[in-house]
Structure 1
């Protein structure tokens, strides 16, 4: 099973979802072709209603601890309540461009 499928399965099993998008963005980073190391995850669930942003991230990071301890290097998390998702028009910002895998000299 792919890492993307593992992440999707865990999120689907843990949350009652209004919307879920798990996007492998590894190809936009300085990693070998076919890597599953960088993900953008959008989760819309009623469970996030009234929950602080940091607590939302902690809950998702805790759920995906095995993936974060292994192959996953980076998660861009976008957790919303259904109301927040509607207010955003069902959209999130695009992820920023990769800086090439190392510290960039200025």
Structure 2
């Protein structure tokens, strides 16, 4: 069984071909809060650098990430922090 972190990484690599990608499971910081699941894997931070973000504003960059993770955002992922940059930023 693939972890949610692995699924996020695979989908972002496939759709955005990042030069750098770090996905962190922050679920342990939200235990007992709304949206937290007993098994974790509900709160994540994504730090991504991709040439696909060049010339795009923050909202457009976030939309690309959200589109790539649309299936996961409908259920398993409760919260996602996105730090999206173009190379050289």
Query: Which band: TM-score by shorter chain?
Result: 0.7 to 0.9
Matched, 1:57 2:59: no
Give 1:70 shift. 1.2
Q: Which runs of at least 4 in structure 1 moved beyond 3 Å after TM superposition?
A: 31-34
Do the aligned partners of 1:24 and 1:36 also contact (CA within 8 Å) in 2?
yes
Map Cα deviations across residues 15-47 of structure 1 (whole Å, 9 max, x no partner): 221100000000011235541000000010111
Q: In 1, distance between residues paired with 2:6 and 2:21?
A: 12
> Number of matched residues?
84
Which residue number corresponds to residue 28 of structure 1?
Answer: 29
Aligned pair 1:37/2:42, yes or no?
yes
State the alpha-carbon separation in 2 of the partners of residues 16 and 65 from structure 1: 17
TM-score norm. by structure 2 comes to 0.88
Gaps of 5+ in 1: 85-106
Determine which structure has more spread, i.e. the larger CA radius of gyration: 1
TM-score by length of 1: 0.75
Unaligned runs of 5+ in 2: none
Give 1:55 shift.
0.5
The DSSP-based 3-state class of the residue aligned with 2:19 is strand
RMSD in angstroms over aligned alpha carbons? 1.1
* Residue in structure 1 matched with residue 5 of structure 2 by the alignment: 4
